Amino acid sequence: MTTPRSASDAWRPGLVTGTPRRQFLRSGVAGSALFSGVVRQLLAEEAGEAADPLAVRSPHFPAKAKRIIFLFMTGGVSHVDTFDPKPALTRDHGKEIQADHPEIKDRPGYERIFLKRPQWEFSPHGACGMEVSTLFPHVAECVDDITLIRSMHTSHSNHYNATLGMHTGSFAFSRPSIGSWMSYGLGSQNANLPSFVVIAPQQTYAGTQVYASDFLPGAHQGTLVVPGDMPVANVTPRIPAERQTSELAALEVLNRRHLAERDGDPLLQTRLRSFETAFGMQMAVPEAFDLSGEDAGTLDLYGLQPGQNTGFGWQCLVARRLAERGVRFVELIDTGSSGNWDAHGDMLTHEPLAKNVDQPIAGLLRDLKRRGMLDDTLVVWTTEFGRTPFNNTADALGREHHPWAFSSWLAGAGVKQGYVHGATDEHGLRAVEQPVHVHDLHATILHLMGFDHERLTYRHAGRDYRLTDVHGTVVREVLA
């Protein structure tokens, strides 16, 4: 019998009995819950276990933000009706302007175009005097915490492409989502919850590609949560915890052996990591999504009723709960029952859509602030593009897709408060002062999370890829 090398080694069966480690791993003893931790350690040594893709990692430099809550208004919010006041557009309503751009000229029905005035009034708010329309009265009360970018522009006028671009930096091909890049760069702070969560009643344009990891390890893919009675499917165990733990420990032995025989295949490693996360989620998810402990004042802040488990207010409150439990990136997609912001037929559809999200968003900002979380949480509000300040007739009720100009805003960690960046021309057609492309927005978000966007890369198919591709400049004017 081999003499233990130290007291701490005495419990290691291979050392005490002389049983070969591989033989022990194949034995039935390895399946017990008692030895599951031992098995994991021995397997790591035996098989040369690959690094955990969700292990906590440090960014390139000290970060202002520790986490992101990304609010995506799908369909194309009209900037000239919400956050970009244009008195000249009201003054010149019905005036014909020249359709001199190919993107207009070549579109059927747009041989002639006419300016269309905003349908809601703007007024200044907060100590900063930022102008916001009556569509967002609650958010307007929070403008002193917001940096508003009025000079956004993008590279495509189709929903699919613009949505893909806003999420992945690629307007034509599937690439990793911004949330996946954050997960890849920082890892997970909570082994029992995903590092990247997407909460949406329905899929948006481009479908699952907006939260896919693509060529990044699969552990960084977003986990979809659908509001309702069972936001995460199949999370309730069907057998007692002790038996399940024992079975999973035995299964892990076989899985790790399988992995070792295949040179640590990253896809297999990802699958094993997903099993571990799923096991932890059985306990963590029900607690994170249980709002019964939230007081009446908090529910009222988000416009929620006791027991409610749907609506954008529910999405926002759950986002706060996930953020305080270590989830790095939470995206809320507004795809509610009242449709989306694609107001071709009638701009009045913006009214119920804004009412649905306005109070919850303001409630989220206020809740984060009072808990001290806004100091290290970055909140991003955006859409895929704006809407035309014109249409093909003077009396048209709706607006069309408009990639040349739209508005986005940031709040919280590392950004200026009560600040307006950039401007469009007098009619809101184009970003003319300090224009910010989607790539620039991505570079700025990465910077706030502690990353040089040119250095956060992943080698794939012989090339180093990044979220901003070969573009992007940090918008330093918005930084606090």
Do residues 45 and 186 both lie within one domain? Answer: no
Residue that the structure tokens 């970060």 belong to: 63
Sign of the CA dihedral running 318, 319, 321, 326: positive
Domain that holds residue 194: 67-232+289-478
pLDDT tens sequence across 16-75 = 333 444 444 444 444 443 344 434 444 443 433 346 788 899 999 999 999 999 999 999
Q: At what angle do helices 241-260 and 36-47 cross, to 10 degrees?
A: 10
SS3 at position 265: coil
C-alpha–C-alpha distance, residues 128 and 204, integer Å: 34
Which regions of 92-247 does DSSP assign to beta strands (E)? 96-97, 113-115, 122-125, 130-133, 146-153, 196-199, 223-225
pLDDT tens sequence across 279-320 = 666 777 788 999 999 999 999 999 999 999 999 999 999 999
Do residues 293 and 266 both lie within one domain? Answer: no
Do residues 137 and 283 both lie within one domain? Answer: no
Is pLDDT of 419 > 80?
A: yes
User: Confidence band (pLDDT; 50, 70, 90) for 339?
Assistant: confident
C-alpha–C-alpha distance, residues 25 and 39, integer Å: 7
> Averaged over 445-469, what is the pLDDT?
97
Do residues 471 and 362 both lie within one domain? Answer: yes
Do residues 203 and 330 both lie within one domain? Answer: yes
Query: Between 135 and 23, whose confidence is greater?
Result: 135
Instruction: State the pLDDT at residue 17.
Output: 35
Residue 17 lies in a domain: yes
Specify the number of domains making up the chain: 2
User: Confidence band (pLDDT; 50, 70, 90) for 430?
Assistant: very high
Instruction: State the pLDDT at residue 273.
Output: 63
> Averaged over 178-190, what is the pLDDT?
95
Do residues 153 and 197 both lie within one domain? Answer: yes
Residue 60 lies in a domain: no
Instruction: State the pLDDT at residue 276.
Output: 65
- Tokens linked to 220: 């960084």
